Structure 1
Amino acid sequence: MSIKSLGDPFSGESDLRHSKSCGCEACATGKHHHAGHDHHEDTYDLASMPAHSDMAVDGVASSSGKLASSEEMLDRAIESAVVRSVFGHNEISRRSFAKMVGSGTMMAALASVLPLDKVKAAILDDLGTPEKTKLNIGFVPITCATPIIMAQPMGFYEKYGLDVDVIKTAGWAVARDKSLNNEYDASHMLTPMPLAITMGAGSTATPFLMPAVENINGQAIVLHNDHLDKRDPKQWKGFKFGVPFEYSMHNFLLRYYVAEHGLDPDKDIQIRVVPPPEMVANLRAGNLDGYLSPDPFNQRAVWEKIGFIHTLTKDIWEGHPCCAFACSKAFADEMPNTYGALLKSIVDATQYASKPENRKEISAAIAPTNYLNQPVPVIEQVLTGRYADGLGEVKNVPDRIDFDPFPWHSMGVWILTQMKRWGYIDGDVDYKKIAEEVYVAADCAKIMKDLGYEAPDSTYQKYTIMGKVFDPDQPEAYVNSFPIGKGVS
């Protein structure tokens, strides 16, 4: 809820078009020429005010003389909005009437026709005070988690009244289990994970929600420097590859990529689950020939002169989803206001991260030991898209990683087709029903619009992946169109 001046609306001396921060000449001299001066009104966002505000606003004070709390500010804001509306936002009429009858009479007259207490209660109910403000959110230390991580040091959680501990987590099996055990209120997850958890693939079936994507693009296939002469995937038979989790875009994109080059990922190569922070060490030790991993570990392999970037995943599927913000359906149902404030924090941070001019600032914020624990130059190369590829070239790819919170239902359907294709789920699958239950696009769209960002009008779109068109209206036909795959009939 945005309001303007917090002056006393029942006083004939206050001017609701001005606040203490107004720097206009009239305010500086104390002489207000009331005609046509509405352009100096200050705006306050009551939804983002902390429980005990230190703001000094237009003499709003408690009985002790101290600065007002956010509750007192909200009362004043509602009164001001109602009074301004009654007088048609005509400040001269309001002040004249207040001076003529006095503030007490004016207040009583208004209350006789419009019960302010009920109006305040209704607005407070709409704003929704968080049921719980102290939260634990898990994250795996990768650049895909940028919005979830940066929201702590850069104040996005605090902005919406939350006190969040972001907890570094070794890998996604741990993140999943801690989420299922309610040790985490919400967590950084891979976009296939909420679908898998909801369906009981790899864990006990528990309804989960994914109201926001964290990043799009942002991954790469890295090969050991010993394989500089093996750039053709057809030469990769017998290779050992790392992916961070079975239910990951990394696994599904690697499988898709090698299969399009004629290799069966279950027969011709080995795919091992390796936590992202251990990728580089395993590459160095010779335990892996390569990996499809999140950053910064692709760039870290180049930094340490162990490997090179074979291809960015954006060149497999431009704009593919990767990581997400997720929570149990029970959390969202039982604490809807907390869920809403948390989602608003994440969406706001994601939109901030989407702006290239903010990327260096963000790199410094998420580099410290308690977050990514990486050199700032490594993170900057990922987030800015200007990077060394390990092949002797410096590339400039601004959208190497990007940030877009909208959880397209069509993305969920594509992921489910790959889970079916590779045998992670079987039988009849109601692709759209599951995607729409888990990827709560409506929640994200509402928050995006509330924050002034554009949200898509639809939730489905077609994708072209390595030249092959995916139509979300024909998921089963898509699964069966591939010559390689366990679930292909």
Structure 2
Amino acid sequence: MDNVFNFLSRRRFLLTAGAAASSSVLLKGCLGNPPDEVLRQAGMTAPQQTAQAANVNPAQAPETATVKLGYLPIVEAAPLIIAFHKGLFAKYGMAQVELAKQANWGAARDNVEIGSQGGGVDGGQWQMPMPYGLTTGKITKGNRPIPMALVLKLNTQGNGIAIAGKHLGKGIGLQLASTKSLFGQLKATGSQFTAAYTFPQANQDFWIRYWLAAGGIDPDRDVKLLTVPAAQTVANMKTGTMDAFSTGDPWPYRIVKDKVGFLSALTAEIWKNHPEEYLALRSDWVERHPKATKAILKAVMEAQQWCDRDENREELARILSDRQYFNLPVDVLLDPLMGKYDMGDGRIINDKSMAVRYWTDSQGSVSYPYKSHDLWFLTESVRWGFLPLSILDEAKALIDQVNREDLWREAAQELGVAAAEIPKDTSRGVETFFDGIQFDPADPTAYLKSLVIKRVAI
């Protein structure tokens, strides 16, 4: 028995101290399993051994220590990276977590379809409402449903809309009403304004659509929208093939730093404390491993708390900048993390409340996955014709199926999160956008009726 504990104590130290020494594409938090004979003599499985070495409550010990999670190199991924980098997954018994950097959102979708057993992933970071599109088969190959369990919101804010430098001085900012004619002129001359996002019918598509429509510009008729991976944005703006881009930090700010363009708006200006990206896993994985799911949640929650402390933001920028993660200069990351944005058009923002948040914001919990936010994403999908109006009749049942806020609550309680930090309601209530439009989750139809530009007849 002493051999078991000596092996695992050394293993835990190495996992915690050396978790960052991994591949830039596939990051493994695993140093191998204890010898079968040692486990047999101890009478415990590998996950139980790992949990005991990490001082995990035996009743909470995960069913497996292994999971493979996908991420993309934008600030939304920070809690996953910190949980891995600082050994927090191992702390809660998940010593064999692998982080797999995804080339783009399409690759992330394809990899969760095949699952880790097929060389893909068990889940990871997602734009919304991708977990719903996977669950219903709307965005999968052959429309095969891949039921997903949405378990945690990774962050709020941290996105922006960047504009090519050739449009500097033309009045393109948060408010677009005075520049509506510019878009019409470009279209009339055959050089239609071209804007991009990283995946269709998801967060960054919604942000730029909302911004355009609020200014009286129809995103489907007055501009050309297309999908471009975040890493290609700087090059595309330099060549003049793209007029605008909606994506997460650090890419919008890098466009400014590289003097390629400017920022017209932060998403924090469009919708303060808006929901951004989420952690979701395949439902079949969660059903087999409910305790492991909560172990992952506890590690990511602790990472979110760490990320949100101002005194840690400089270290966070250094970690994310590393070659194995983002491979970017620290200064491109640090200023936005501190709420400092040189917008590139003479406007300077220095406001921590405009920065990305991971654990709490001025409206309470960031990490908790409010069902009311899921409903907004589904309603906005109806607005643009991505989903039929009838989906709203089925929305509650669908959200109850996909959104596993119950697991979040259980994990938070096991982690010792203060009761005051655990939301009492699955709705955050009425949401207000920069143009004065409100979304009341109790009446999504009223929201649709209040919108001038939309594809749904209501």
TM range (shorter): 0.7 to 0.9
Aligned residue runs from structure 1 range 47-58, under 5 A? 52-53=8-9
Distance 1:187 1:311 in 2: 28
Residue 183 of structure 2 corresponds to which residue in structure 1?
236
Say if 1:241 and 1:270, in contact at 8 Å, map to a contact too. yes
The aligned residue for residue 310 of structure 2 is 356
Name the structure 1 match of 2:27. Answer: none
Structure 2 residue 431 is matched with structure 1 residue 463 = yes
Task: Evaluate the alpha carbon distance shift between residue 477 and residue 384 of structure 1 in structure 2; reply closer, same or farther with a 3 A threshold.
Answer: same
In the other structure, the counterpart of 1:382 is 336
Asked whether the 8 Å contact 2:50–2:93 carries over to 1, the reply is: no
Displacement of 1:147 after TM fit? 0.6
1:401 partnered with 2:368 = no
Of residues 193, 204, 207 in structure 1, which corresponds to 2:130?
193
Moved beyond 3 Å, runs of 4+: 69-75
| 1:223 is aligned to 2:163 | yes
Residue 246 (structure 2) aligns with: 292
User: Which digits, 9 at most, give the CA deviation of each residue in 1:141-176, with x for residues without a partner?
Assistant: 111111112222122212112222211111111101
Identity %: 30
Cα 1:255–1:51 shift into 2, 3 Å: farther
Partners of 1:185 and 1:327 within 8 A in 2: yes
RMSD of aligned Cα (Å): 2.5
Of stretches 479-488 and 252-261 in structure 1, the one that deviates more from structure 2 is 479-488
Matched, 1:472 2:419: no
- Cross-structure match for 1:140: 72
- Secondary structure of 1:319 counterpart: coil
**Aligned 8 A contact 2:294 2:410 in 1:** no
Look up the equivalent residue of 2:401 and give its one-letter code. E
Distance (whole Å) between structure 2 residues aligned to residue 74 and residue 304 of structure 1: 49
User: Quick one: which amino acid aligns to residue 445 of structure 2?
Assistant: E
- Mapped contact 1:385–1:398 kept (Cα < 8 A): yes
The Cα of 1:51 is off from its aligned counterpart by 8.1
CA distance in 2: counterparts of 1:245 and 1:320, whole angstroms: 18
What is the Cα deviation at residue 330 of structure 1? Answer: 0.5
Q: 1:178 to 1:50 in 2, by over 3 A?
A: farther
CA distance in structure 1 between the partners assigned to 2:98 and 2:406 by the alignment: 27
TM-score when normalising by structure 2: 0.78
Q: Which amino acid aligns with 1:402?
A: R
Q: Deviations over 1:68-116 (max 9, x none)?
A: x9969979x99xxxxxxxxxxxxxxxxxxxxxxxxxxxxxxxxxxxxxx
**Whole-Å Cα distance in 2 between the matches of residues 256 and 293 of structure 1?**
14
Residue of structure 2 aligned with 1:448, choices 412, 428, 439 = 412
Instruction: Pick from 205, 209, 215 the counterpart of residue 261 of structure 1.
Output: 215
Alignment length (residue pairs): 382
Flag the structure with larger Rg: 1
- Secondary structure of the corresponding residue to residue 8 of structure 2: coil
1:352-374 Cα shifts (integer Å, max 9, x gaps): 21222211111111111111111
Gaps of 5+ in 1: 1-48, 57-68, 79-122
Structure 2 residue runs of 5 or longer lacking an equivalent are 14-43, 185-191, 359-365
Indicate how the Cα distance of structure 1 residues 74 and 295 shifts in structure 2: closer, same or farther if over 3 A, else same.
closer
Residue 420 of structure 1 deviates from its aligned partner by 0.8
Q: Which residue among 312, 315, 332 is the counterpart of 2:266?
A: 312
- TM-score by length of structure 1 reads 0.74
Does the 8 Å contact 2:51/2:93 carry over to 1? no
Distance in 2 (alpha carbons) for counterparts of 1:367 and 1:325? 22
For 2:7 and 2:375, how far apart are their aligned partners in 1? 42
User: Aligned partners of 1:297 and 1:416: how far apart in 2?
Assistant: 26
Q: In the superposition, relative to structure 1, how do residues 416 and 446 fare at CA in structure 2: closer, same or farther (>3 Å)?
A: same
Structure with bigger RCO (C-alpha 8 Å, 6+ apart): 2
- The alpha-carbon deviation at position 274 of structure 1 amounts to 0.8
